[in-house]
Structure 1
Amino acid sequence: MAQKTDSLTLKNGDKIIGEIKEMTKGVLTIETDYSDSDFTITWKDIVSINSKHNYLITLSNGTRINSSIVTKPRDSAQVVLNENGKEVLVKIKNIVYVKAVKASFFSRLDASLSLGFNFTKSNALKQLTVRSDFTYTGEKWGFTGGYNSVLSSQDSVADTKRIDANIGAKYFLKHDWYALLSADFLSNDEQKLKLRSTTRAGMGKYLVHSNRTYLTTGGGLAWNNEQYTTPDQSDKNSLEVFVGIGYNMFDFDDISLNTNLVAYPSLTEGGRLRSDFSFDIKYDLPLDFFIMAGFTYNYDNRPVEGASRVDYVIQTTFGWKL
């Protein structure tokens, strides 16, 4: 077992020796030899941090540095980073992300899985909800993915389903800009969609990037392909512009909030407008468990004949994060 030599000093004078794993969303995680569970400490409560290990560090202005991290002697407001052999002084409040850089794939992976189930005796209504996501963070690249589904069945009514999935990549640039490439997939009985595949390419920027909130926006082009459950309706392709905004709030006790809105005005179908909106609130429990409530809304002002313009789903799940 590797020796744990990283040290933290807190505002109350406590000192912790261990192995720093990461700091994300304003909370630092450190593993120690004297506890079965990792310690989580609010970043703003740390007055001194010292580690000779190598970390991927992100600053509030978007700069990404691979470095050890040591508090400047006699100045706890600043830390000394070592970028390519050159020492750089950084205010500790400007550090928004720290991740131990290791060779293993799983050391850079964050993932979660949550489930929900409802049953009503009167009409034998059964509903199963599954939500999952993963994030992989590299030095210049970030990868994300997710899978969500709602499957419902009840007496004398046809089963219904709603499945969406996504996968995406970001290439981080200077000054909190990034290039993005992603694909979204939706199967939705309410809108008679056997499968909608939307491939997006564009640019984005973090407008706010702190230890309490992220605010990001982006835009570009999207290619939309739709296959319908209606037998006599042929597949449809369209070129669209997309414009989106996302807001992530955290470090408010054990509550975090994440919301996203993306609009898709079509370039090849005059007057058509689609939009996707999501709102999730999560409450963290001990041992990396959590409960989550989410609301997802899809709008299309020109759906296929017989389909609804809108569809929405409300989900409540219990889950665990890696």
Structure 2
Amino acid sequence: MAPTPGHAVLVVMLAAWLVPRPAHAQPMDVVVLDNGDRITGEVKKLLSGRLEFKTDKADTIQIKWDAVARLTSTNFFEVILDDAHKLYGALEAPGADGTLRVAAPTGPVDVSLERVAAIERIRQSFWSRLKGSIDLGMSYTSAEERTDWNFKATTSYRTPRWRSSLSAESLYRRSDTSSFDREDLSASLQRLYSGRWLAAVFASGQRNSELALDLRLIAGGGAGFHIVRTVEQDLIALAGLAVSRERFLDDRSDTSSLEAVIGLSYDLYALGGRSFTVTADLAAFPSLTESGRFRLEAGVDIRKELFKDFYLSLRGADSFDNRAEGSEAAKNDFSLTTSIGWSF
């Protein structure tokens, strides 16, 4: 059987998991609470108003951010403020409670703890900067003798100024009377600026038998802007251009097209804290070279943490292409899948 796009990403992720990491140094981070308690350990991240902190005598704990008076660490962090401004550096001892001092390259910067929306550690080794997840789901309907399989794998890599990502998704449906498959492999590279702006290039390959699409190759680029960036949510607007090449399963001829790209990306962390997140993406592709051609891609992911590093996922996805009119293919393809996932 020929390898699918998902196989390549799965191999990369398994290699990332199996390759030995360098041993960690003794934790040097200190958090002081507003009641005077002092806890030593390792800062993991701040997200959704909760500080994830691994203590040197217990497991990882969650500390409410409004209960923190001071935080110090010799490690290197990205600190995102409530206006989306970003600071980079270690966390030095502040002059007063309620203040975070970031040892930025240009000199120490003091900010109120109330202004800090997120903190994420920027590690030095390649493997420690690699993050990702794997989702797998299956359903069976006896009345129709139908079996559905869905697989999704994502991985990303971060530096202070750059972020890259790779994603593979497959959906297979088999029954006595019909079969259906959809595959999507995508990659992106983003340049992150100190304010709300970012620049991006992207490429993807798609197959969708429901839309009679044998292969679609896309490459493009554009710019994005953080409309909202808070502790609880992140809303990004994107715009750019893309070129595509398509081959179909019906009698339509192969086509090449120049398309505009207009999209929104939304993340919500507030519901139930860190253990419940919502991610939504919407992208419109009006063609600039094919009169009246319009495509739409949309997806919503809801994740509920089951226990450490494992979660339950519900995903809805929709693909629309008005060019299918007049052919045997459907214009619209909607799917709803559930799966169990693992993150690293």
Q: Could you tell which deviates more after superposition, 214-223 or 297-306?
A: 297-306
Among candidates 24, 27, 31, match of residue 8 of structure 1:
31
Alpha-carbon distance in 2 for matches of 1:11, 1:292: 36
C-alpha change, 1:19 and 1:25, in structure 2 (3 Å) is same
Q: TM-score, normalised by structure 2?
A: 0.86
**Counterpart in the other structure of 2:10:** none
**Counterpart in the other structure of 2:53:** 30
Where is the strand percentage greater, Structure 1 or Structure 2? 1
1:216 Cα offset (Å): 0.7
**Counterpart in the other structure of 1:295:** 316
Where is the helix percentage greater, Structure 1 or Structure 2? 2
User: Structure 2: which amino acid aligns with 1:115?
Assistant: L
Alpha-carbon distance in 1 for matches of 2:92, 2:66: 16
The answer on whether the counterparts of 2:86 and 2:195 sit within 8 Å (CA) in structure 1 is no
Among candidates 278, 281, 302, match of residue 299 of structure 2:
278
C-alpha change, 1:130 and 1:10, in structure 2 (3 Å) is farther
Instruction: Give unmatched runs, 5+ long, in structure 2.
Output: 1-23
Q: Could you tell which deviates more after superposition, 162-171 or 297-306?
A: 297-306
1:63 matched to 2:85: yes
User: Structure 1: which amino acid aligns with 2:230?
Assistant: S
1:172 Cα offset (Å): 0.9
The answer on whether the counterparts of 2:80 and 2:116 sit within 8 Å (CA) in structure 1 is yes
Deviations 1:134-155 (A, max 9, x none): 2211111011221111111112
3-state secondary structure, aligned to 1:93: helix
Alpha-carbon distance in 2 for matches of 1:224, 1:60: 38
C-alpha change, 1:55 and 1:146, in structure 2 (3 Å) is same
Alpha-carbon distance in 2 for matches of 1:193, 1:27: 44
The answer on whether the counterparts of 1:26 and 1:250 sit within 8 Å (CA) in structure 2 is no
1:199 matched to 2:219: yes
1:26 Cα offset (Å): 4.1
User: Structure 2: which amino acid aligns with 1:234?
Assistant: S
3-state secondary structure, aligned to 2:246: strand
Among candidates 89, 97, 111, match of residue 75 of structure 1:
97
What is the total number of aligned residue pairs between the two structures? 318
Q: CA RMSD in A?
A: 2.0
1:6 Cα offset (Å): 0.6
3-state secondary structure, aligned to 1:107: helix
**Counterpart in the other structure of 1:252:** 271
3-state secondary structure, aligned to 1:166: strand
1:142 matched to 2:163: yes
1:116 Cα offset (Å): 0.8
C-alpha change, 1:196 and 1:40, in structure 2 (3 Å) is farther
Alpha-carbon distance in 2 for matches of 1:45, 1:136: 31
Alpha-carbon distance in 2 for matches of 1:298, 1:32: 46
Alpha-carbon distance in 2 for matches of 1:300, 1:44: 48
Question: 1:221-260 residue pairs with structure 2 within 5 A?
Answer: 221-230=241-250, 232-253=251-272, 254-260=275-281
User: Structure 1: which amino acid aligns with 2:173?
Assistant: S
Deviations 1:291-320 (A, max 9, x none): 111111111122272211111110111111
Deviations 1:277-296 (A, max 9, x none): 11111111221211111111
User: Structure 1: which amino acid aligns with 2:281?
Assistant: N
Among candidates 195, 206, 214, match of residue 234 of structure 2:
214
The answer on whether the counterparts of 1:227 and 1:235 sit within 8 Å (CA) in structure 2 is yes
The answer on whether the counterparts of 1:27 and 1:251 sit within 8 Å (CA) in structure 2 is no
Deviations 1:120-163 (A, max 9, x none): 233431111112212211111011221111111112x2321111
1:116 matched to 2:137: yes
The answer on whether the counterparts of 2:122 and 2:158 sit within 8 Å (CA) in structure 1 is no
User: Structure 2: which amino acid aligns with 1:269?
Assistant: E
User: Structure 2: which amino acid aligns with 1:159?
Assistant: S
1:178 Cα offset (Å): 0.5
1:43 Cα offset (Å): 3.4
C-alpha change, 1:182 and 1:69, in structure 2 (3 Å) is same
User: Structure 2: which amino acid aligns with 1:103?
Assistant: Q
Greater than 4 Å deviation, 4+ residue runs: 11-14
C-alpha change, 1:73 and 1:17, in structure 2 (3 Å) is same
Instruction: Give unmatched runs, 5+ long, in structure 1.
Output: none
C-alpha change, 1:183 and 1:96, in structure 2 (3 Å) is farther
